[in-house]
Amino acid sequence: MTEPARKLVTAARLTKWVVSGPPFLFLLLFFVIPGIIMVLASFRYPGEFGGLAPLTAADPATLQGVTLETYRFFFSDPIYGQVFVKSIFMALATTLICLTMAYPLALLIARSPKKSRDLMVLLVILPFASNFLIRVYAWMIVLGPQSALSRLVNGLLHGLGMEPVHLLFSPFAVLVAMVYVHLPFMVLPLYTNLEKHDPSLLDAAQDLGASAWQRFWRVTFPLSLPGIFSGSALVFIPVLGMFAVPDILGGTGDMLIGNLIKEQFLGTRDWPFGSTLSIMLTIAVLLIAWLAARLAGRRGSYG
């Protein structure tokens, strides 16, 4: 290799390191290392006042060493499995509702004239301009017993001769707020996908005899699957770990995995069990992601 060529290669290599270095370090420090600490902590005993019990102690009566106790405990009580199943159902329901609401919206934006699209996308992300907690608290007012909505619903129920219901502090309230908070995360990837579709494909489908309904199901929908999958992942995964929304809007019986994990660290101060729950959550998410990727892979092997 000549001298200038070698210099070029060295410069390219240096650029690669300088550019990828900071994010690499950041992920190492705040993701990989805490993850390892969490895995290690899950095999320990809890300390008396939070934290972890020592690995070795002079007094043989104190808890010490390494154990599988937390995992045994997790599988011994069906309540934890039930919370997992309930959380997964909540996440699935949120994802499906977001999808059915976001799809027409994303399609509408993608097929609008170019100049109005940016404004519509801005409107979709506008809620992010106000604080997340404030927006969740706002639902307490919207769904509260004295709210116009509650009175309307209960008025209708009364008219039908049925018992009044509490909208707030219920799985319904949690679901509504979950959908509300995560809707933009579904709209944006769907829009990004739909906007790239070649309109001549729809012309071709129509020309070859496809009705409007067939054009959607045979062309638009299959081509939008990558957008559906990424949008669903962006909604499903955060909802599965969410604790703030059920904390604020859920009833006492509406505990989800997120609340359970938060409770272990901040309430009962059982760090090893909290770590175990987090790991089980991660495994659940990875399993579901793997399943989804397999489903997606079977359909979308085109470039």
| Whole-angstrom distance, CA of residue 93 vs CA of residue 44 | 36
Closer of 47 and 226 to other proteins (Cβ) = 226
Q: Which of 233, 190, 189, 193 is nearest to 94 (CA)?
A: 233
Residue of 218, 266, 290, 293 interacting with other proteins (CB under 8 A):
218
Residue 43 vs residues 127, 274, 283: alpha-carbon distances, Å: 42, 11, 16
* 204 near other proteins, judged by CB under 8 A: yes
Closer of 17 and 302 to other proteins (Cβ) = 302
Closer of 226 and 241 to other proteins (Cβ) = 226
Binding mask 40-59 for other proteins (x = CB under 8 A): --------------------
Minimal distance, residue 288 CB to other proteins, in Å: 24
In eight-state DSSP terms, residue 73 is: H
Minimal distance, residue 195 CB to other proteins, in Å: 16
* 208 near other proteins, judged by CB under 8 A: yes
Angle between helices 33-41 and 271-299 (to 10 degrees): 120
Closer of 146 and 200 to other proteins (Cβ) = 200
Q: What is the DSSP track for 220-233?
A: IHHHHHHHHHHHHH
Binding mask 170-199 for other proteins (x = CB under 8 A): ----------------------------x-
* 295 near other proteins, judged by CB under 8 A: no
Give the interface segment with other proteins, choosing from 124-132, 202-210, 253-261, 284-292 (CB under 8 A).
Answer: 202-210
Within a 10 A sphere around the Cβ of 175, how many other Cβ atoms?
Answer: 19
Q: Where are the alpha helices (DSSP H) in the chain?
A: 3-27, 33-41, 69-76, 78-110, 114-125, 132-143, 148-159, 171-195, 199-207, 212-215, 221-241, 244-249, 257-262, 271-299
The tokens of 276 are what?
């175990």
Give the interface segment with other proteins, choosing from 24-32, 79-87, 122-130, 203-211 (CB under 8 A).
Answer: 203-211
In eight-state DSSP terms, residue 51 is: S
Closer of 127 and 222 to other proteins (Cβ) = 222
Minimal distance, residue 108 CB to other proteins, in Å: 22
Minimal distance, residue 213 CB to other proteins, in Å: 11
What residues are paired with 48 via a beta bridge? 50
Residue of 222, 266, 267, 287 interacting with other proteins (CB under 8 A):
222
* 211 near other proteins, judged by CB under 8 A: yes
Residue of 153, 206, 241, 248 interacting with other proteins (CB under 8 A):
206
The region, left, alpha or beta by phi > 0 then psi within -120 to 50, assigned to residue 65 is: left
Minimal distance, residue 184 CB to other proteins, in Å: 27
Residue of 104, 214, 290, 293 interacting with other proteins (CB under 8 A):
214
Q: Is 78 exposed, middle or buried (0-12, 13-18, 19+ CB in 10 A)?
A: exposed
| Phi/psi at 48 (5° precision) | -65, -40
Using CB under 8 A as the criterion, which residues of the chain lie in contact with other proteins when the complex forms? Answer: 198, 200-201, 203-211, 214, 218-219, 222-223, 299-303
